[in-house]
Amino acid sequence: MSLIFSRQCEYALQAVLYLALKPLDDMTSIKELTKRLDIPYHFLAKILQDLTRKGLLSSLKGPTGGFGLGMPAKDITLFHIVEAIDGVEFMHNCVMGFPECSGKNPCAVHEKWANLRDGVYTMLVSKNIAEMAKNMRKPEYQSV
């Protein structure tokens, strides 16, 4: 199986994007997220805790508690989330895994991959999640 981001990272992207649809102040419980996004409860909990530790989210315990964005949505890009969960190694690594591949010693697809990878980067940074949330035809969240 090939996939560009880990499952954890996919879940993180989905969850943060969902939170971006909400007003900053009100907190969303794991329960709601897990229901709407169809992500295993405890697994999501750990991911959200991780994002909270890293400042992307904020959390509050108790009834009316939950998770919300840790900073204004206009300051968060998808790249921030990928960076926090998966790291940015994919920006440097050879797509065929050649350890010595580099500009000076390129593999057969070095240049092409470099372009594509830059395209991925652009995709991740060119819009903040506020813009995304605004004109997003909701990606089929599960009904409540």
Partner DNA sequence: CTATATTAAGACTAAAATATCTGAATATTA
Partner DNA sequence: TAATATTCAGATATTTTAGTCTTAATATAG
SS (H, E, C) 22-70: CCCCCCECHHHHHHHHCCCHHHHHHHHHHHHHCCCEEEECCCCCEEEEC
**Which string of x and - marks every residue 96-135 that binds its own copies (by CB under 8 A)?**
xxxxxx---xxxxx--xx-xx--xx--x---x----x---
Determine if 87 is a binding residue for its own copies (CB under 8 A): yes
Judged by CB, which is closer to DNA: 43, or 102?
43
**Chosen from DNA, its own copies, none, partner binding at 144 (C-beta under 5 to 8 Å by type):** none
Q: Nearest 5°: CA angle at 87, between 84 and 88?
A: 125
Q: Tell the smallest beta-carbon distance from residue 64 to its own copies (Å).
A: 28
**Chosen from its own copies, DNA, none, partner binding at 45 (C-beta under 5 to 8 Å by type):** DNA
Per the listing, tokens 């907190």 go with 27
